[in-house]
Structure 1
């Protein structure tokens, strides 16, 4: 596919490898937590939720900070530093002797993992505003491909022991950092840089310029709700699949790889076409609607093969992120794309702090009462609420272009 700037493929590769590094360890987490903590699978699910919260807290703090730093010094040094930190952190986690060590490693990964803000900022730097939603879809596609490779590779490497995937993730991240040092160009022009200010280096400061528009707050609320619901996958999938279908780490990795494949196809092939034809608002409605239906279907699934069929339909929820990001990125200028994207990352971190606790506790409570799909039911109801907000607050004027929305 053609790229507007030669920095874009390197950024997509960074997102891809970052996601591989995250996904590659998912199939072994239940076994590793159970072994280090000497606990059962139900307690391991709760511990995994707390671990995700530690990751998200660190990312919540780091997102606007890294976004502001990228607006001041450029995207390149921030991306390289994040990849180096990731690689070193995974190497240390590979030798973690206790659960406390794993928690510390996840916090360091959270600080380094605010890479999506600078990555999306590169896309905003080099892409015309009217084409950004489709371009953000490529970032999401890279994320999906990472989930094809990462969990599948993790499931295979798990045969060498639960620590082997951490070593592989460290090698990938450090290798990516080396390539970026040599070849990654800078995308932020000097005239668009601005001083670093601590007053902007938090979630409120990141979104302050957006509030001149009355549709900004509803859009941010929808983004938060969507992230709350979507966290059900990383927070519970491995444990839910183990409890519901008695899947092995290899089977869990295969299922996540399939999810990533479907996501990547939708993001890479359909997002740009759909949004270009029907506009961001309608695409957002379709994405939320299919997402809600998918979550509710997972809640009541009765056989493992059904999850594969459901995901084909639910993958259209991949329209949500690019449509929201495209709408919001057009509300600020080029000098604030970094802090905006960092703020959106922190918003996702707020969800990642709250949601794993909600979802893992819902899973555990559901299992205790004979309904293991409780977490997916909760996720589906949240997205139904987000769908109502979009339907009520955003409308498309009859005389406007397809990607234009007006305040309700």
Structure 2
């Protein structure tokens, strides 16, 4: 099925973008970077992705999603291969920016292709896509650390080859389904994009996705830190982190399929109490088992609210504009990734404790829980039952 080809491509692309992250600080330091340079090298790709993704989806809708996705994959592959031979950390920084631009080109096209081939079953299609991404995030750090045993540049060589492989898969195994709009003016496309964001439901969907993207960077920073302070061994901290990634991957797949039958809103409503309970539990936990259990619970709730935000947005987006709209939508949600850790770190200084920060991670979930009751489901249960018959 085409969706599994897209999922495979997504897995390979996200695996490639993450496999070099564990060794980036060491490689930057080896090339002469100070602490600020190392931090800039780590943040460069994500910042570029978020900034450019607001607009890069227009390219996919105008020139063809498959074509643009292939271009992004090959650009990312080349930038990573050059990272494997770079001689100065400043050039490494520039190549990471180029890699972020490649991801910004590819991601909206990937979202557009997923919506395009779903044939009305957005939950199933996006569930498969997000679960493949979750799996790549679970595998990539361990793979990158293992590859680094053969040298700091080996993960980037692997990254580049994987990106090129993803480009080849899409180029030869996937065709264009939607007629491209190369004759459309950019101003006209931009006007069509703005017309979608007039719908006030969009901002509720942004909030549903932001719940996960606000909580996750805080928890992913301070849960391992708390584990370290509690005296857990590194392998035990890795087990805690893996519990969240594993549940996130499985939950994305199952929730997506079930939402095509039961509707979307029920999963948003269930997700928020799970996230709140998980944050409370993580703040209270004092041992390995409870940390792993509550972090896994967060993976369950976070996956559902994040997935449903994309699915509900896809439900109301016209097919000929879905790459541009979903790319801009994804970028809006990703902006929270910068705000959350900065806020948490600024509060950690005066507070001097981790527990309040873990509770802070749940704040958007309280707001989303109140708003979700007022948002009409984009796939009512009656419609889902009609399509099953």
TM-score by length of 1: 0.79
Is 1:182 paired with 2:167? no
Alignment match, 2:291? 307
The more displaced of 232-241 and 374-383 is 232-241
Alignment match, 2:109? 118
- 1:396 deviates by 6.2
Alignment match, 2:256? 271
User: How far apart in 2 are the matches of 1:373 and 1:100?
Assistant: 38
The 8 Å contact of residues 52 and 235 in structure 1, kept in 2 or not, is answered as no
CA RMSD of aligned residues (A): 3.5
Question: Of the candidates 208, 217, 229, which is equivalent to residue 231 of structure 1?
Answer: 217
Q: Provide closer, same or farther for how the CA distance between residues 235 and 54 of structure 1 changes in structure 2, counting only shifts above 3 A.
A: farther
Question: Of the candidates 236, 250, 260, which is equivalent to residue 245 of structure 2?
Answer: 260
Q: Provide closer, same or farther for how the CA distance between residues 396 and 163 of structure 1 changes in structure 2, counting only shifts above 3 A.
A: closer
Alignment match, 1:337? 322
The 8 Å contact of residues 30 and 238 in structure 1, kept in 2 or not, is answered as no
Question: Of the candidates 2, 6, 14, which is equivalent to residue 11 of structure 1?
Answer: 6
Alignment match, 1:218? 204
User: How far apart in 2 are the matches of 1:253 and 1:86?
Assistant: 28
Q: What secondary structure is seen at the aligned counterpart in 2 of 1:85? A: helix
- 1:184 deviates by 2.6
Alignment match, 2:366? 384
User: How far apart in 1 are the matches of 2:29 and 2:247?
Assistant: 31
Alignment match, 1:352? 337
The 8 Å contact of residues 155 and 254 in structure 1, kept in 2 or not, is answered as no
User: How far apart in 1 are the matches of 2:224 and 2:151?
Assistant: 17
Query: Aligned pair count?
Result: 382
Alignment match, 1:84? 74
- 1:279 deviates by 1.7
Q: Provide closer, same or farther for how the CA distance between residues 205 and 224 of structure 1 changes in structure 2, counting only shifts above 3 A.
A: farther
User: How far apart in 2 are the matches of 1:93 and 1:238?
Assistant: 29
- 1:256 deviates by 4.4
The 5-angstrom pairing of residues 102-117 of structure 1 reads 102-114=92-104, 115-117=106-108
**Per-residue Cα deviation, 1:354-401 (whole angstroms, up to 9, x for no partner):** 334334545xx35x854245543332223323323323x32569x973
The 8 Å contact of residues 64 and 206 in structure 1, kept in 2 or not, is answered as no
Q: Provide closer, same or farther for how the CA distance between residues 375 and 70 of structure 1 changes in structure 2, counting only shifts above 3 A.
A: same
User: How far apart in 2 are the matches of 1:348 and 1:335?
Assistant: 22
- 1:62 deviates by 2.3
The answer for unaligned runs of 5 or more in structure 2 is: none
**Per-residue Cα deviation, 1:291-319 (whole angstroms, up to 9, x for no partner):** 23323433443334433222332222211
The answer for unaligned runs of 5 or more in structure 1 is: none
Alignment match, 1:295? 279
Is 1:159 paired with 2:144? no
The 8 Å contact of residues 29 and 38 in structure 2, kept in 1 or not, is answered as no
**Per-residue Cα deviation, 1:182-222 (whole angstroms, up to 9, x for no partner):** 323223235x7762515755xx97353242x4423332344
Q: Provide closer, same or farther for how the CA distance between residues 331 and 135 of structure 1 changes in structure 2, counting only shifts above 3 A.
A: same
The 8 Å contact of residues 70 and 118 in structure 1, kept in 2 or not, is answered as yes
Q: What secondary structure is seen at the aligned counterpart in 1 of 2:175? A: coil
- 1:64 deviates by 3.7
TM-score by length of 2: 0.83
Higher relative contact order (CA 8 A, sep 6+): 1
- 1:238 deviates by 6.6
User: How far apart in 1 are the matches of 2:353 and 2:55?
Assistant: 41
Is 1:128 paired with 2:107? no
Question: Of the candidates 277, 281, 286, which is equivalent to residue 270 of structure 2?
Answer: 286
User: How far apart in 2 are the matches of 1:371 and 1:76?
Assistant: 48
Q: Provide closer, same or farther for how the CA distance between residues 94 and 145 of structure 1 changes in structure 2, counting only shifts above 3 A.
A: same
